[in-house]
Structure 1
Amino acid sequence: MQADILSRIRKDLTESIDEKTQNSYSRFFKEEVKCYGVKSAAVGKIAKNYFKEMEQAGKADKKRVFSLAEKLLQSDYCEEAFIAFEWAYMVRAEYTEADFPVFERWVKNYVNNWAKCDTLCNHAVGSFIEEFPEFVENLKTWAKSDNRWLRRASAVTLILPARKGLFLPEVFAIANILLTDKDDLVRKGYGWMLKEASKPHQQEVFEYVMENKKEMPRTSLRYAIEKLPPELRAEAMKK
């Protein structure tokens, strides 16, 4: 079953290669990436179709899904990682505390560009943290890591929870840890987290930015204030 489904997925991906998409990767990524060159909508459709097939066969339980996801991740292809992480999110109703080390290992071993980081963390890991909020403390450990993807992951995991108004003290705590990070993708990641937090918590995020703007890199600052009203944005951008 596993080998069969993997080979069919890879055949579908190969047959869906789009030359324009293939040629555009160098614009999106500074690092070398391994991609087929398939439009994200097509990859999403492949992910959903095969998940549905597994469900109908009674083989879409978390254990099987995580095992298949691991095999997809080992190929290093962006599209296969997208399918793996999408499937991991689809079994979120079955998450237990024991899944956190699995997600952490995936970030450490398989995440090597911002798209993989965000696909896994925005949805699967973000949902996990909402369900098991005590693990938000682990994100602070990620924020102190030497691994740039764990540091970005510490922020982008809170994107969707922050948009709902959750974890504001932790959002600020992680922003504090990452405040002067040298990595551009980490700076953008925590700026994005603050921007999402500003939707339900406009005043608090504005005050945080004003307190920290002397140290905050301009990239992070611009992201953080993007959704604030024009007058607050102008105030924040003053030297």
Structure 2
Amino acid sequence: MGDSRAQTNRQYGEHLSRHQNLSAETEMCEDLVSLIRAELLQNADAQTQESAQRFFREPVRLYGVRTPVVREIARRHFRSIRHLEKTEIFELCEALLKTDYNEDAIVAFDWSYALRRSYAPRDFQVFERWVASYINNWVKCDTFCSRSLGTFVEMYPAYIQNLKGWATSENRWVRRAAAVTMVPSARRGRFLGEMLEIVDLLLGDPEDIVQKGCGWLLKEASRCHQQEVFSYIMSRKGEMARIVLRYAIEKMPHDMRRMAMER
């Protein structure tokens, strides 16, 4: 009887300890998010908010803080959490993303990028959820995909196959993410064949924000593979939107640009 009671008491103590730890972690998360949001609001101004809004066609939630200031706030607060487990930091990132403010998202995505040396394959599930759930404008898309997610697929290129699936998503931001995620690889001349397969899937996309992503990707790929990208453009220009074409040839010599633009 005594042993059974002692075991019950021990189990209750362990349960209470876990509950207290979970409560403490939740409280810390809420406190830090509130602190960062308060600091962002202190640095906000209406003029910055108004001028930033002009870069978006859709209404976007903005405090009105200049990006260098946001990034300095992100760096400073990351020093206070860098000792935490990666999963705990990802939870903080997600809490920031849930506010839907651009500046909070920049902080979250800067933190996720700061963890890049510890990326593991299982992180893709987290990143994919963020793209589907929280990315709703081009700043969020490009900040996350051209850094954190782009680095991830360079480290684990098997996941490029997943990006091909994104290219057929009903969500235009997921489709743009499929292209923009390949930008870091394109800059370094990697995965050209896979990249062109993704562009092929997106060429007929009805959204110009997706088309611009394709054009950007082709432009970056042309830095290392100019002739290959030019040949691709010439073989596809009949089905390629002009906006894709203009972005794609931006860094090419004049003669190539002229030939590409000829109807």
Please state which band the TM-score falls in when normalised by the shorter chain.
over 0.9
Q: Deviations over 1:124-165 (max 9, x none)?
A: 100100110100000100011111011000000011110000
Report the secondary structure of 2:204's partner residue. Answer: coil
Match of 2:47 among 11, 17, 20: 20
Write the mapping of 1:126-137 to structure 2, written as runs, cut at 5 A: 126-137=150-161
Write the mapping of 1:191-202 to structure 2, written as runs, cut at 5 A: 191-202=215-226
Report the secondary structure of 2:238's partner residue. Answer: coil
Q: Tell me the equivalent position of 1:38.
A: 65
Match of 1:121 among 118, 123, 145: 145
Write the mapping of 1:176-215 to structure 2, written as runs, cut at 5 A: 176-215=200-239
Q: Deviations over 1:70-112 (max 9, x none)?
A: 1001100000011111111111111111111111111111011
Q: Tell me the equivalent position of 1:109.
A: 133
Q: Tell me the equivalent position of 2:199.
A: 175
Q: Deviations over 1:158-206 (max 9, x none)?
A: 1111000011001110110001111010000011000000000000000
Question: By how many angstroms is 1:19 displaced?
Answer: 2.5
Question: By how many angstroms is 1:44 displaced?
Answer: 0.5
Write the mapping of 1:158-169 to structure 2, written as runs, cut at 5 A: 158-169=182-193
Q: Tell me the equivalent position of 1:80.
A: 104
Q: Which moved more, 1:71-80 or 1:15-24?
A: 15-24
Q: Distance in 1 between matches of 2:86 and 2:232?
A: 40
Is 2:85 aligned against 1:65? no
Q: Tell me the equivalent position of 1:47.
A: 74
Q: Which moved more, 1:92-101 or 1:69-78?
A: 92-101
Q: Tell me the equivalent position of 2:23.
A: none
Question: By how many angstroms is 1:11 displaced?
Answer: 1.0
Q: Deviations over 1:18-75 (max 9, x none)?
A: 33211113310001111101000000000000001223xx22x311110000100110
Match of 1:93 among 117, 130, 155: 117
Q: Distance in 2 between matches of 1:49 and 1:175?
A: 38
Structure 1 stretches of 5 or more lacking a match? none
| Residue identity in the other structure for 1:217 | A
Question: By how many angstroms is 1:234 displaced?
Answer: 0.8
Match of 2:245 among 198, 221, 225: 221
| Residue identity in the other structure for 1:37 | G
Q: How many residues align?
A: 236
Q: Tell me the equivalent position of 2:262.
A: 238
RMSD: 0.9
Q: Tell me the equivalent position of 1:3.
A: 30
Give the TM-score normalised by structure 2. Answer: 0.88
Report the secondary structure of 1:38's partner residue. Answer: coil
Identical counterparts, % of pairs: 50
Q: Distance in 1 between matches of 2:192 and 2:205?
A: 20
Q: Distance in 1 between matches of 2:68 and 2:45?
A: 12
Deviation above 6 Å: which 4+ runs of structure 1? none
Q: Tell me the equivalent position of 2:175.
A: 151
Contact 1:18 1:39 in 2 (8 A): no
Q: Distance in 1 between matches of 2:113 and 2:88?
A: 14
Which has the greater radius of gyration?
2
Q: Distance in 1 between matches of 2:61 and 2:73?
A: 18
Q: Distance in 1 between matches of 2:68 and 2:254?
A: 34
